[in-house]
Structure 1
Amino acid sequence: MLTTNRLRQQLAQKQTVFGLIASVPAPIMIEVIAYAGFDFVIIDMEHVMINPETVEHMIRVAEQSGITPLVRIAEINAKEILRVLDSGAMGIVIPQVEHKEQVEAVIQAAKYFPIGQRSMNSGRPGIFGRDDLADYMERANHEIMIIPMIETVQGVEQIDEILSVEGIDMILEGAADLSQSYGVPWQTEHTLVRQALDHIQQVATSRQIPYCAIPRQINQYEHWQNKGVHAFVLGDERGIAFRALQSKLAQFPVINTDRSQTEL
């Protein structure tokens, strides 16, 4: 069911919001993330094998638990975007954006006339035609978010053109892939990467487009806060769960005893 996009409202009010990438294809993980206190979740279809029915269930759980569900698509495919939105997603995250035409193509697929040409449907977001469908289309055009990710040198170089596209609701960094694009893989604190991210944020701010950072350390979070950034993605739940499990196990060290001393 299409509701008011709470994340969109929070960004407009410059509230600090926290999101998480959902890489485990299981609805219960969305529930865990929501009740842990996160504001939004990015259901990942780019790096994860996941079927459409599971995506719809994850979106449904997000709706019920009060967290804004976004979906990172695997590629720019109008039919895939249509199915994701007809399942109830409140926004499309576009990976590997390098030129404005990519964003324009997603807007055409994600928005109804007069903005785009999304195929009309009276499914679950429109409550199966219970309410006025023309009104639903207008609300959908307002509530659905378009969020490009900048993850390559080409994307950084084209950031002015990319952000000139009307209808972008937030810009998301991709420091990991960006570091590889600059030839320094996984060195997300490298000077080239940091300068690129700062440039993206400056251009976004000049165009009044919210910038979303992915801080990996507390000093990175403080850096972006000092620059007036209010939106943060704190990694993915797989990595957080893995580190938590490691930490838990480390609390109970194995004590090796010499069994030979106890044997007869």
Structure 2
Amino acid sequence: MPAPHNSFKAALQEGNLQIGCWLGLAEPYVAEISASAGFDWLLIDAEHAPNDLRSIIRHLQIIAASDSQAVVRPPIGETWIIKQLLDAGAQTLLIPMVDTAEQAQKLVDAVTYPPHGVRGVGSALARASNFAAIPDYLQSAGDEICLLVQVESCKGLAALDEILAVEGIDGVFIGPSDLAADMGFIGQAGASEVKKAVLSAIGRIVTAGKAAGILTLDRDLQSSCRDLGATFIATEIDVTLFARSIRQAAQSASTHLRPA
């Protein structure tokens, strides 16, 4: 019996658009609601959200019971935390702040068992192998791991072609907010110069035969990225969606009950 099939990775390989939502509230109840909403994938964020290994595992358990697929973003691309996340059952990782091909290669090594990589062999203890109930997990795990890297700096864009050439990288995600800051437009991800750089990068990723992705609430930019061939696009964030809705609800109630 092989490792569980990663349908998200398969969809990207087939070029099928996957629409996602960011989970940053770090709350299993919210993950459960989100998992029933109809998104193709849900990003469990540990870079800018207060998630730890235990809360990530709880999110993975909840999402596994739905039709949505889980993607996990660690706070940093270090071998030790990648090892923990893979053993916990994450099959798709989105690694932030990748600026060079050397970094990308180290990430490939981190998700790969020896002799070709450095992932620690501890599957007997791991949720990923169903606690050793999957007899050929060690032999089949690599085929189902999806490694996505975030390029979100001028340095990363300059090295994009070299990063794309690293075997084992399944896709590249462009981070507009950090890129905007590095370009001198902090807080202005919608600046025309930033959008131009983003779309250029998306085109280069697709041309290289890799999956291209982005998180943006800008519907026009979403459409433009899709038209260029981007295949994993996150269109919402639970934090901003809740904040926006709850503020609108409070304002609506105040206007209704406290008329001027």
Check whether TM > 0.5.
Answer: yes
**Are the aligned partners of 1:68 and 1:90 in contact in 2 as well (CA < 8 Å)?**
no
**Aligned-pair CA distance for 1:81:** 0.9
**Corresponding residue SS for 1:48:** coil
Q: How does 1:78-157 map to 2 (within 5 A)?
A: 78-121=79-122, 122=124, 123-132=126-135, 135-157=136-158
Match of 1:261 in 2: none
Query: What amino acid maps onto 1:189 in structure 2?
Result: G
Distance 2:236 2:129 in 1: 32
Using a 3 Å threshold, how does the CA distance of structure 1 residues 16 and 102 change in structure 2: closer, same or farther?
Answer: same
Using a 3 Å threshold, how does the CA distance of structure 1 residues 255 and 27 change in structure 2: closer, same or farther?
Answer: closer
Q: How does 1:238-253 map to 2 (within 5 A)?
A: 238-252=239-253, 253=255
Distance 2:242 2:259 in 1: 31
Deviations 1:222-264 (A, max 9, x none): 2122222232112421011111212333332154479xxxxxx
Match of 1:171 in 2: 172
* Over 3 Å off, 4+ runs: 254-258
Considering only CA atoms, is the larger Rg found in Structure 1 or Structure 2?
1
**Aligned-pair CA distance for 1:82:** 0.8
**Aligned-pair CA distance for 1:114:** 4.3
**Are the aligned partners of 2:203 and 2:228 in contact in 1 as well (CA < 8 Å)?**
no
Match of 1:200 in 2: 201
**Aligned-pair CA distance for 1:48:** 2.1
Using a 3 Å threshold, how does the CA distance of structure 1 residues 212 and 257 change in structure 2: closer, same or farther?
Answer: closer
Distance 2:216 2:47 in 1: 20
Cα RMSD after superposing both structures: 1.9
Using a 3 Å threshold, how does the CA distance of structure 1 residues 127 and 46 change in structure 2: closer, same or farther?
Answer: same
Size of the aligned set, in residue pairs, is 256
Distance 1:97 1:160 in 2: 13
Query: What amino acid maps onto 1:171 in structure 2?
Result: V
**Aligned-pair CA distance for 1:200:** 1.4
1:70 pairs with 2:84: no
**Corresponding residue SS for 1:185:** coil
Query: What amino acid maps onto 1:214 in structure 2?
Result: L
Deviations 1:67-101 (A, max 9, x none): 22121111222111111111111122111111111
Distance 1:184 1:138 in 2: 46
1:18 pairs with 2:19: yes
The TM-score, its normalising length taken from structure 2, stands at 0.91
Match of 1:262 in 2: none
Distance 1:144 1:248 in 2: 41
Match of 1:222 in 2: 223
Give % identity: 23
Distance 1:9 1:176 in 2: 28
Deviations 1:54-75 (A, max 9, x none): 1111111111223221211112
**Corresponding residue SS for 1:65:** coil
Using a 3 Å threshold, how does the CA distance of structure 1 residues 131 and 221 change in structure 2: closer, same or farther?
Answer: closer
**Corresponding residue SS for 2:131:** helix
Of the structure 1 ranges 147-156 and 68-77, higher mean CA displacement relative to structure 2 is found in: 68-77
Match of 2:160 in 1: 159
**Corresponding residue SS for 1:46:** coil
Match of 1:42 in 2: 43
**Corresponding residue SS for 2:201:** helix
**Are the aligned partners of 1:90 and 1:143 in contact in 2 as well (CA < 8 Å)?**
yes
Match of 1:31 in 2: 32
**Are the aligned partners of 1:151 and 1:178 in contact in 2 as well (CA < 8 Å)?**
yes
